[in-house]
Structure 1
């Protein structure tokens, strides 16, 4: 995919989106809340696993993905838990992907994973402090040509344990062939479907920690930073960018090469205020959305407001310089709440070309690769059109 193709994608005119609000009575509200809990569980793989499994040797034929981590979860003996911490911890995990891996899936193995069949942790490093992390990160970056030093930061969504978020990002990195520099930011979600309200509070609690992480990467040898937020993680991303902007810390702006929000669980009106405060937005700024996203549809019904990830673009948001990519026509991604990472159709398309494309935002010629490699065209109706 070349720069001209991306310009065509960016020039699509967003469609207006009308949302009919249903006001249920007390009985139907109780049923709705129950249904929403069941559907919102799609934010994770509904696995009981909350801890990283014991370290085991990588099986021959498995592929190992190395991922740096930052988190404000409390430390445990074999991973990180659900309690909040005032300290940001840094580390690195090596996750093996089995040779029988299917695109978009996490092959879980429970407490006794077999690397020939399952995702497994094969190495774990915890850094004593941020300085030690930056030293290790820069050492890794030094092995990569300067032009390829793009770090992708992934922020997970609601109802996600530490292991689930880390394994999901390992799957995304493997399936999309992301750059070598990747970091998973893990905020303290409880991993329980009933704790939606607590998870939202934990997102707000995590803003300072994510800010610290992004500024640490800004001061590293990375040339470009791309931030990807999913569901409530998207809410954390935009809140943190807004917070950094308020503090007038402009050094992040020079390295922030793009933002991708996947199924963002954000009030659309609130989002407009957030991006106004965070202006100027990095470009490109992409929102993967779908009016068929059941999780966000129910979230919108409960709150009385449509969620950003349910829109295909509205006239009220058209002036913000945001590209909406409607993936509602994709039928092989379960609930549709994490389509770019779980749909084999989209994964095959994105990774098809294999080269980082050049995206032009005004006079800015920075590179922006993840989630755009191989995408020939995504039209405004959500159809994938080969070109």
Structure 2
């Protein structure tokens, strides 16, 4: 019999744990990555080390990620740059510049809280007690548990607290990012018992299962799941499945291999979620490469256990990194066989999908334009003018998120014809939908 081991990991990521260069880069990127001091510091770092260049590029995508901040700090140390006095002086100037800009802007104290998020992962534990480093990029056995994530709510939201809100949170990340505070690893039986009980006590008796895409760490997956649940105002239990993505730009080929490797484990977990809880509705959301595993897992469960299929209420694929022809020919018919609703948000501008476009010769199901996939039973939405990254954008960004439309889809079960901001486009292959920029919610 396996020994019972329970880990309780708490995060106390203090700013002084990071070197001053990483701290400066993070602050500037979160502040829109502009200004002479940032440009100067980045130019001095560029070309010194491929690892540093990549780590900065990864951080620019999500400056709220502690795992990405650690990657920059580790890369600077490995390259012998962390102690460079000229770089450190430039970094201090940059911190002062960002602080000056911040003091000129009005402070908006948005409401926030700590959400409980359930997880399953087949990443290998690292043994590090910091939750941002708890699981690495290597393959491992299945682990189960829960996370506590501090989130900042969207402005203007006056709706009731989320079902898995544990407590109010007064200490926010100054830039509004979600923060992973804690992670508990549970044994399988205890995990499913806790999950079933939590779902049973939610008025909606529902769950949201998120499967992340390429270039995402465990920490990033936890943060995004909590923020997605908050932005959707999801009335059920948020869950994420984290497969062993390398979490960096150069990891695409390895990620492709690992997302295929994870498929049977994800399928098994989905069956377990439906069998071992009394959840009435499961909403399934996959992004990028994660859509590849999630779509096939849903198709496999539908074929093997048609009795479970009706409880998979919605399948939402955001910028799916799946070969378009394979999706149209094989996956879409399997997904729609049981009558479930499938929604595909296409966007060739999605950052993760752009990597696929550069490295793979065939169109992806998430591509827009001439390659847009229109298939029977699939509601295709050209989301090119909105953000499909599922990363919480800066508060002052002008770009709207596809999550606004997903919220109407999930909370009110509205078809595209009844969702504000969408308009129909008819082509020989069928009908698809696009966002009307003037009416985006």
TM-score normalised by the chain length of structure 1: 0.69
Q: Superposed, which structure 2 residues align to 1:85-100 within 5 Å?
A: 85=140, 87-98=141-152
**1: CA distance, partners of 2:381 / 2:60:** 19
Q: Superposed, which structure 2 residues align to 1:103-252 within 5 Å?
A: 115=172, 117=174, 119-129=178-188, 131-145=189-203, 148-219=204-275, 220-245=277-302, 248-252=304-308
Q: What is the CA-CA distance between 1:236 and the residue it aligns to?
A: 1.0
Q: What is the CA-CA distance between 1:350 and the residue it aligns to?
A: 4.1
**1: CA distance, partners of 2:370 / 2:273:** 31
- Structure having greater relative contact order (Cα 8 Å, sep ≥ 6): 1
Residues 221 and 310 of structure 1: CA distance in aligned 2, closer, same or farther (over 3 Å): same
Unaligned runs of 5+ in 1: 1-36, 54-59, 104-113, 361-371
- Is the 1:259–1:285 Cα contact (8 Å) retained in structure 2? yes
Q: Superposed, which structure 2 residues align to 1:296-311 within 5 Å?
A: 296-297=353-354, 299-311=356-368
Q: Superposed, which structure 2 residues align to 1:330-345 within 5 Å?
A: 330=386, 333=387, 337-338=388-389, 342=393, 345=400
**2: CA distance, partners of 1:274 / 1:46:** 35
Q: Superposed, which structure 2 residues align to 1:289-300 within 5 Å?
A: 289-293=346-350, 295-297=352-354, 299-300=356-357
For residue 114 of structure 2, the aligned residue among 64, 88, 103 is: 64
2:343 aligned with 1:286: yes
2:415 aligned with 1:357: no
- Is the 1:43–1:157 Cα contact (8 Å) retained in structure 2? no
Counterpart of 1:49? Answer: 66
Counterpart of 1:376? Answer: 420
Residues 43 and 357 of structure 1: CA distance in aligned 2, closer, same or farther (over 3 Å): farther
**2: CA distance, partners of 1:99 / 1:289:** 27
Q: Give the match's secondary structure for 2:66.
A: coil
Deviations 1:13-47 (A, max 9, x none): xxxxxxxxxxxxxxxxxxxxxxxx89995995267
Q: What is the CA-CA distance between 1:190 and the residue it aligns to?
A: 1.2
Residues 277 and 95 of structure 1: CA distance in aligned 2, closer, same or farther (over 3 Å): same
Residues 41 and 286 of structure 1: CA distance in aligned 2, closer, same or farther (over 3 Å): farther
Counterpart of 1:269? Answer: 325
Deviations 1:47-87 (A, max 9, x none): 7733999xxxxxx96311111101111123342221111x3
**2: CA distance, partners of 1:122 / 1:258:** 30
Q: What is the CA-CA distance between 1:242 and the residue it aligns to?
A: 3.3
Unaligned runs of 5+ in 2: 1-53, 71-109, 158-170, 424-432
Larger proportion of helix: 2
Q: Give the match's secondary structure for 2:411.
A: coil
- Is the 1:176–1:347 Cα contact (8 Å) retained in structure 2? no
**Bigger Rg over Cα:** 2
Size of the aligned set, in residue pairs, is 314
**1: CA distance, partners of 2:229 / 2:382:** 22
Residues 328 and 263 of structure 1: CA distance in aligned 2, closer, same or farther (over 3 Å): same
**2: CA distance, partners of 1:204 / 1:355:** 28
Residues 186 and 265 of structure 1: CA distance in aligned 2, closer, same or farther (over 3 Å): same
- Is the 2:212–2:286 Cα contact (8 Å) retained in structure 1? yes
**2: CA distance, partners of 1:161 / 1:98:** 21
Residues 265 and 139 of structure 1: CA distance in aligned 2, closer, same or farther (over 3 Å): same
Deviations 1:123-168 (A, max 9, x none): 4322111x211110121122223xx112110000101110011111
Q: What is the CA-CA distance between 1:192 and the residue it aligns to?
A: 1.9
- Is the 1:234–1:261 Cα contact (8 Å) retained in structure 2? yes
TM-score normalised by the chain length of structure 2: 0.61
